[in-house]
Amino acid sequence: MPRTCLIVDFGGVLTTSLDDAVRGFEAREGLPEGAVEHGWYRNPAMVALTHDLERGRATQSDWNRHMGRALGIDSTDLLGRIFADSRLDDSMVAVLARARACGLKTGLLSNSMGLAPWNMYRGFDIDTAFDAAFVSGQHGLRKPDPAAYRLLLTMLEVPGGDCVFVDDNAENLPPAEALGMATVLHRGAEHSTTRLGELLGAALTPEPGPAFTPVL
C-alpha cells in the first residue's frame, strides 16, 4: 500500500548540493580542495562543536570563530560564506508542493546550524510547505538521534509505517527505517522524484509554473 506522508531533509535535499557549495567556497578563498572537510569533519573538536550548534547549545559566532581558526582565515559570517552558493532546488521544492497538493502529509526533519547571521531557511516559508517541521536547534535534538524522528512523527500524528523519508546523508536513514519508514538517499531530483512516486503512489512530476511563493 502506498505511503501517505513525505518527510524531507532541507540542506542538500530542498537545496542544491552542499558539497558543491563547499568546493566553490574553497576556490574563492584560495584554499586547497578538501580543506573544509579536513578542518571540519576530520577535526573532533569541530565535529563536537557542530553537534552543539545543531542542538542549539552553541552559536554560529562560536562555530565561525573556531572554524576560521582551523582554516586560518577570517571568521566573519563564515558559515554563510561556506554555503553562499547553496540555493533552493526548484525541482525538489516543486515535488514537495505537488505531494501536498495530492493530499499527502509533509514534514521537515532538519539539522539546523543556527539562524544568525546565516539562516539556511531564509526565503522559504516552512509553515506553508509542511504540516509539521522539526528544526533541531529548537528542540535540543539532532539527527540521527531516534528521539528526533519520534518527535516529528508525534507532531505529524502519523506512524512511521505511513512515511517516506528523504535525506542526503546515509547515516540519517537507519533510525527512520527502524521506525518503519521507507527511505530515499537523495542523490539528485530525478532519481528521488521517481522513487518517491513509486513509494507514495502519486504523480510527483511538477506541472509547469511556479510551485511555491518565496518569502523574501
The amino acid at residue 158 is V
What are the average pLDDT values for consecutive 10-residue runs of the chain, which has 216 residues? 94 96 98 97 97 98 97 97 97 95 96 96 95 97 98 98 98 98 96 94 64 36
Model-level pTM greater than 0.85?
A: yes
The Cα-based distances of 11 to 44, 83, 108, 119, 134 in angstroms read: 22, 10, 11, 11, 13
Distance CA(184)–CA(191), nearest Å, equals 9
Cell 516552512 -> residue:
126
Model pLDDT, residue 209: 46
DSSP the chain: ----EEEE-STTTTBS-HHHHHHHHHHHHTPPTTHHHHHHTT-HHHHHHHHHHHTTSS-HHHHHHHHHHHHTS--TTHHHHHTTT--B-HHHHHHHHHHHHTT-EEEEEE----SSS--TTTT--HHHH-SEEEEGGGTT--TT-HHHHHHHHHHHT--GGGEEEEES-GGGSHHHHHTT-EEEE-S-HHHHHHHHHHHHTS--SPPSS-S-----
Model pLDDT, residue 200: 94
Cell 580542495 -> residue:
33
